[in-house]
Amino acid sequence: IPLLPAEAVLLVATPALVARMALRQSVGVRRDALNYSILAWMLFATIRLPLDMNRFGVIAVRDYAMIYYAAFFFLAQAFGDHIASSALLKKSLTAAFVALMPVVISILVAPDFLVDNLTWRGIPIIFHKSDLIATSLAAGFFWLWTRWDKTHRRIWLLASAASLLLIGGMASPRAGMFAVGVTTVLWLLTGRWRIAAYQAGVVAAACLIALAALSFTGKDLNTSLPYSMYEHAISIFDPRGTGTYINGESGDLGGNNQFRLIWWRDVIEDTLAANPVFGQGFGSDLSTRFLADYDLLSDEAFATRSPHSMIVTVFGRMGLLGIAAWIAVSASMAAMAWRLLKRGEPDGMGLASIVLVVWLSSCFGVVLEGPMGAVV
C-alpha cells in the first residue's frame, strides 16, 4: 500500500486501539477539556469534509490531514496508560533526539550525501527540511536537559548543548529559536533559572570560541556563521522585514518576513470576504491571491499550499469556528503543560516542553501542516 509512514501507522494503530477499547469495554477518551476540545476540533472538520470533497475532489483529503493527525493524540494517551509502553515511548524520544544530531552534522558538512547515498529503491531514507529540523533540535534540547535533571549524568548536558547550538546552523532556525525563548521563559516563571543560565553559558562559550577562530584565520565576522545566527535572532523582532541584513548565509530575512506577512494578510482578507464563519474549505488554494501580490505567477516551481502558520491555515480553511476550536485546544494544552512544568517532575517537564516547542513553532512555520511535527 503506497502510504506515507504516518498514514501507515494510523491504518494499523487506530483499528488496534478501537479493538482494545471494545475488548476492555472502555472509552479511549478522558473526561477533560483537552480531550473534549480535540474531539470538537476533529468533529467540525469531519462534518465539512464531504462538502469540500464535492467541490475540490481528493485534494481536500490532503488538506484534511492536519486534522486526522490529531488521532495520534489518542494513541499516545493510550500508550501513557500502560507503564511499559510509556517507558518505551520516552526511550524512543531520547534515541530519536540523540540520533538526530549526527544526521544534522552530516547535512551541514555534506548537504546532499544522505539524499544521494542513503536510499531504498531510489527513495531517500532521510529527507530533511531545515525549519523542521530546527524545531526538532529545539524540542530535543529540553528533553535532553531533563534527562540530565533526572539522572545527573553529564553526558546529557553535552548532548543538550549540542542540540541547542545546532539550531543556529540550520538555514531556517527562527521558529525553533522563538519556541526555545518562550518555553525558557515559562521555565523561569516556575522558578527554574538554571536552564536559562546554561543556555547563556553555552551560547557565550560557543561565540567566544568562534571569535577566536575567526581572529586566528583572519576571516570577516560579518560573513561568519555566528553572525548569521545573530541576524536570524534579531529578525524575529522585525516582522515587516525593514531591517538590514548583510550575512550571505542568513538568506533574505527581510524578504522572508514580508513573504509571510503578505500571504497571511491575503488569506485572512479572502476568508473574511468569502466565508468568515466556515472558511474557504479543505482543498481550496490559499495561495492564489498571494502569487499575484508577490509576483510569483510565473514561478512554476512554487507548489506550497499552506501559508506557513497553523493559525492562518486554520482560519483560511475552517473560518471563525475553526479558530474557536483551535483556541480551545491551545488553551487546554497550555493548561496541561503549565501544570506539568509547575509539578517539576523531569519526564513531565520534558514532554510538556516538546509539545510547547512544536506548538509555538507551528505559528510561524509548516510544522503542524504536515506529519513531521504533527505526529510528535
Burial code (b: 16+ CB inside 10 Å, e: under 16) for 238-252 equals eeebeeebebeebbe
The answer to whether residue 97 scores a pLDDT higher than 90 is yes
Average pLDDT over residues 191-199: 93
The answer to whether residue 118 scores a pLDDT higher than 60 is yes
Going by C-alpha positions, the residue among 183, 221, 215, 175 that lies closest to residue 199 is 183
Confidence of residue 250 (pLDDT cuts 50, 70, 90): low
The answer to whether residue 182 scores a pLDDT higher than 90 is yes
Average pLDDT over residues 64-69: 91
The answer to whether residue 258 scores a pLDDT higher than 90 is no
DSSP secondary-structure letter at 297?
T
Highest mean pLDDT among 23-37, 141-155, 238-252: 141-155
Lowest mean pLDDT among 123-127, 191-195, 246-250: 246-250
Supply the pLDDT for residue 251: 67
Instruction: Report DSSP letters for 226-289, one per residue.
Output: HHHHHHHHHHTT-TT--S----GGG--HHHHHHHHHHHHHHHHHHHHHH-TTT-S-TT--TTHH
Alpha carbon distances (Å) from 21 to 11, 27, 99, 178: 16, 6, 34, 40
Q: What is the pTM of this model?
A: 0.90
Cell numbers at 297, concatenated: 505567477
The answer to whether residue 1 scores a pLDDT higher than 60 is no
What is the rounded distance in angstroms from the CA atom of residue 80 to the CA atom of residue 62? 29
Supply the pLDDT for residue 278: 93
Contact 27, 34 (CB under 8 A): no
Contact 255, 241 (CB under 8 A): yes
Cell numbers at 131, concatenated: 525549519
Lowest mean pLDDT among 118-132, 147-161, 346-360: 118-132
Within the chain, residue ranges assigned H as helices are 5-24, 33-56, 59-68, 71-80, 83-109, 113-117, 130-151, 154-167, 174-189, 194-217, 225-235, 253-274, 288-293, 310-343, 346-361, 371-374
Confidence of residue 27 (pLDDT cuts 50, 70, 90): confident
Residue 62 bridge partners (DSSP): none
Which are the contacts of 14, defined by CB distance < 8 A and separation ≥ 6? 71, 75
DSSP secondary-structure letter at 369?
S
Supply the pLDDT for residue 354: 96
The answer to whether residue 294 scores a pLDDT higher than 80 is no
Supply the pLDDT for residue 298: 63
Supply the pLDDT for residue 139: 96
Which are the contacts of 89, defined by CB distance < 8 A and separation ≥ 6? 76, 79, 80
Residue 123 bridge partners (DSSP): 120
Confidence of residue 302 (pLDDT cuts 50, 70, 90): low
Q: To 10 degrees, the CA torsion angle through 323, 327, 330, 331?
A: -170
Confidence of residue 262 (pLDDT cuts 50, 70, 90): confident
Residue with the bigger pLDDT between 159 and 241: it is 159
Confidence of residue 34 (pLDDT cuts 50, 70, 90): very high
Q: Is the dihedral of CA 173, 175, 181, 187 positive or negative?
A: negative
Residue 152 CB burial class (10 angstroms; 0-12, 13-18, ≥19): exposed
| CA angle, residues 50, 54, 56, in degrees to nearest 5 | 110
Burial code (b: 16+ CB inside 10 Å, e: under 16) for 43-78 equals ebbeebbeebbeebeebbeebbbbbbbbbbbbbebb
The answer to whether residue 109 scores a pLDDT higher than 60 is yes
